[in-house]
Each structure stands twice: as structure tokens, then as C-alpha cells.
Amino acid sequence: MFDTLSDRLRKTLAGLTGRGRVSEADVDAAMREVRLALLEADVNFKVVKDFVARVRERALGAEILESLTAGQQVVKIVNEELTALLSAGDRTFRLAGSPAVVALVGLQGSGKTTSAAKLAKHIVKLGRQPLLIAADPYRPAAADQLETLAKSINVAIYRAPAGTPTVEIARAGIEHAKRIGRDVVIIDTAGRLTIDDALMDEIREVSAATKPVETLLVVDAMTGQEAVTVAQGFAAAVGVTGLVLTKIDGDARGGSALSIGAVTGIPVKFLGTGEKTDALEVFHPDRLAGRILGMGDVMTLVERAQEAFDEKQAAKLEESVRKGAFTLEDMLTSMRQMQKMGPMGQLMGMIPGMGGMAKEAQDAVDRGDLRRVEAIILSMTPRERREPGVLNASRRRRIANGSGTSLPEVNRLVKQFGEMQKLMKQLSGSGGKRAAMSQMLGRR
């Protein structure tokens, strides 16, 4: 979602960092580009005006302009102000009460039902036992969808008979949670195509009856500034405590994600980064700012690695790296584990300095490059995977035929593996780098 904005900002700021000292005219020229980039990304114009004014005021300080590293300091200021822009409100996710009641509200099509399941999975990771309540009696498939998702993540669900009023569903669901010993309930409320009085009245009634500790508004980030209008409408009617921005992995301009907290004062608490039930991230303003500016997000990358990598496989892989015995089998294992961490473009964007390669990496996945690599390795014998040195011309032709690829593709993979092997040997000889690699392999 932030690819275009990120590219524009990186290019603009690179022009400053490459020259050391900067003048007032340099800062003004850069701020014009920043302003255009933000406006084209559909960021609220008032937010853009205030943001650029703050950055310019700080960047034109005497200590900045006279510094030998002025360009880098301007980038630091932009990063700090972007983080501040994203940091509206109290982002603490509270689960007080027994059971703790969390209500999800929003319009139809915003991803509310899917977000309810994602949130349930996140809460399970926190060591709690959630119950999902299907409290949308108007959309026939809503309860079925939630039940399917609940089964996929092994979480309990409460459904009421058809025709039961929404408030009664919510009340009965909480009582059911108490009976079966669940300490969190997540209420998937009904939505509408647009904000209307009937919707708001119903949400107010549910809120009064259940007293949720968190009322999370689910907003589709791809709707642009309309998302800000929706957030303002819900906030005026009910006590919204936080936002869940969905479809962050989409190809819209992303301005609402940058504007919504600043305009409404409602904190963003979670980001929906994909369709799968584990594609929900706790929102960290500094991490998102780093991704947008191409500074990476190593913390989120490490957290995903720790969740995705199997502990035994990670230990085995780390041992191979340490001994300098990294094989094609290890490469295949690590590729499969990496794919569990999320879209390749997202992962590349989290590595400092690699943001510009994120789209290229995702394009490679879309073309099926990783699938071809997997097919090539699987077409090898166990010995060939462990000892690539035995891969003569006839073996490579056999592998190409068996994998449905070409001889040049097999040769290219073997060459790339040789370069990776050299890198792994270098890592095995450096204590600090080895420790970093252990973290990336999910070893705590």
C-alpha cells in the first residue's frame, strides 16, 4: 500500500543525505516534494500542511543547517515527525474483566468478520481463551463465515437461533462464555452499507448491554479518505477505543492509514496485512514509519520469524550454518519457513535498505520463481542436495527435465546456492553476526 509513497520519500530524502551541508533552499525543495508525495498518497491535506510545517521548522534550525551531517538529521526529523503523526491516542489493548468483552464494529465489507477471527488468534497467543459471538443476524452468511473461521483456528463460537435480536445474541453469548470458562469474548456486530441511525442505535444498545472494555472500529484502508469520514461517524455515536485497519496489503494509496489517527484522535491498534487468520499485526508507529522511509522493521521481522519457524528445524538450520555445512536441503527448508512469514514483498520491506527491492521480490514470487526453485531442488536426489559438487551436465539436464524447468535455470540456482554457501560460512565465523542469524531463524 505504501510502495509509491515510500519510493517518492526515499528518493527525495536521498537527495539531502548525499550532500552533507544543506541550505534553506534545499530544505524547501525537499519539503515541496514531500508535500506532493503525501497529497498524492491521499493523506488529509490539513495533516500534510501541519506535518510539512513542523518538519521545515525543525530542519531550518541553525544547529541543523550548520551541521556537517545536516542531510541525515533532516531524515531523522522526518522519521520522528512521521512516527508522531502515526502515534495518536493510547494504543494499549486492554482485556480487563471476566470475561473481557471486545466489540468489533464497522461497515459491511470492511473485513470485520475476518478481523474477529484474526483477533481471536492473537488473543490465544496472549495466553487467553476467547469466545467468538456471531452477532450479525442480518447477513445470512456472516455466522457461517465466522463459524468456519473459528473452526480453522480452534476457537469456540456462540451462535443464536435465527431471528434472535442482536442485543440478546450478545448477552446470551457472554453468559455462554461464563458457563464454558472463556475469559474473553469477541462480538462480531452487524454492519450496514452506510452509516445510518438504525445501525448506530443498535451498536449503542449492544454497548450498553455488554459494556465492552474495547470497542474496535474495523476500517478498510483502501477506501481512502472515506475511511476517515466513517471513523468520525462511529466515534460520534459510540465510544470507539481503537481502530483495526484492514487490507494494508492492498494496492491503494494508503493515505487513510496516515491520516485517520491524526484527524480523529482514535488510536490505530491493529493492522490487517492479508487474508489469512495470522495476518494481523499490533500497530507500532515507529516500525511503520521506518518501513515507509526504507529504514526497515527488523523487530517485526524477528517476531514473525519466531512465530513461523519450527524450533527444532531452526536449531538444525542454525547448527548447519555454524558448521559451514549449509546444503540445498537447508535452503529448501528455510524457503518454506520464510513463506510462512508472509508475502515476500512485505519481508523485503522490513530489511533496512532493501525497501526498494520489495516490489521486485514480490514480482518474483508472483512469477512463480520460488515454486520453480522448489521444483528443481525436489527433482534432485538426497545426495545431490547434500553434495551439489556432484551435479555434472547430465545430472543437471535430468533435473531440468524432471522439474519442468530449463538447464539455464538449474545452472542459475546452483550458482546462487554457491554464493549463499559462502555467505553462510562468513556468518559462521562471526559471533555477532551469528547471534543475529539465530534471531532471524526464530531462535529465542
Cβ distance 344 to 362 under 8 Å? yes
State pLDDT tens for residues 9-52. Answer: 778 777 777 666 778 888 888 888 888 888 888 788 888 899 89
- 260 versus 341: the higher-pLDDT residue is 260
Quickly tell me which residue has 559471533 as its cell.
431
pLDDT score of 440: 45
pLDDT score of 215: 92
pTM of the entire predicted model = 0.67
pLDDT score of 437: 46
pLDDT score of 158: 94
The amino acid sitting at 314 is A
Helix axes 197-210, 166-179, angle to 10 degrees: 30
Up-side HSE of residue 141: CA atoms within 13 Å toward CB?
4
- 132 versus 440: the higher-pLDDT residue is 132
What is the mean pLDDT of the segment spanning 351-356? 50
Share of the chain above pLDDT 90, in %: 23
Quickly tell me which residue has 492509514 as its cell.
257
State pLDDT tens for residues 287-331. Answer: 777 777 765 545 555 555 666 556 666 666 666 656 656 788 777
Q: Which of the four pLDDT bands, split at 50, 70 and 90, describes residue 442?
A: very low
DSSP per position, 155-180: -EEE---TT--HHHHHHHHHHHHHHT
Share of the chain above pLDDT 70, in %: 76
Give backbone dihedrals phi and psi of 274, rounded to 5 degrees, phi first. Answer: 175, -175
What is the mean pLDDT of the segment spanning 111-120? 92
d(CA 214, CA 126): 16
pLDDT score of 294: 65
What is the mean pLDDT of the segment spanning 121-132? 93
Q: Which of the four pLDDT bands, split at 50, 70 and 90, describes residue 227?
A: confident
Tell me 295's DSSP state: -
CA distances from 392 to 203, 330, 399, 412 (A): 69, 21, 11, 14
pLDDT score of 297: 47
State pLDDT tens for residues 252-289. Answer: 566 777 778 888 888 889 988 888 888 888 888 887 77
Q: Which of 58-72, 233-247, 264-278, 295-309 has the lowest mean pLDDT?
A: 295-309
d(CA 206, CA 212): 9
pLDDT at 361 over 60: no
What is the mean pLDDT of the segment spanning 156-184? 91
Cβ distance 212 to 240 under 8 Å? no
Q: Which of 76-80, 168-172, 265-269, 287-291 has the lowest mean pLDDT?
A: 287-291
CA distances from 40 to 146, 254, 346 (A): 37, 10, 22
Report the DSSP pairing between strands 280-282 and 268-272. antiparallel
Residue 388: Cβ-neighbour burial (10 angstroms; 0-12, 13-18, 19+): middle
pLDDT score of 381: 92
What is the mean pLDDT of the segment spanning 213-233? 83
Q: What residue ranges define each of the domains in the chain, with the CATH number in brackets?
A: 3-85 (1.20.120.140), 100-293 (3.40.50.300), 300-440 (1.10.260.30)
pLDDT score of 199: 82
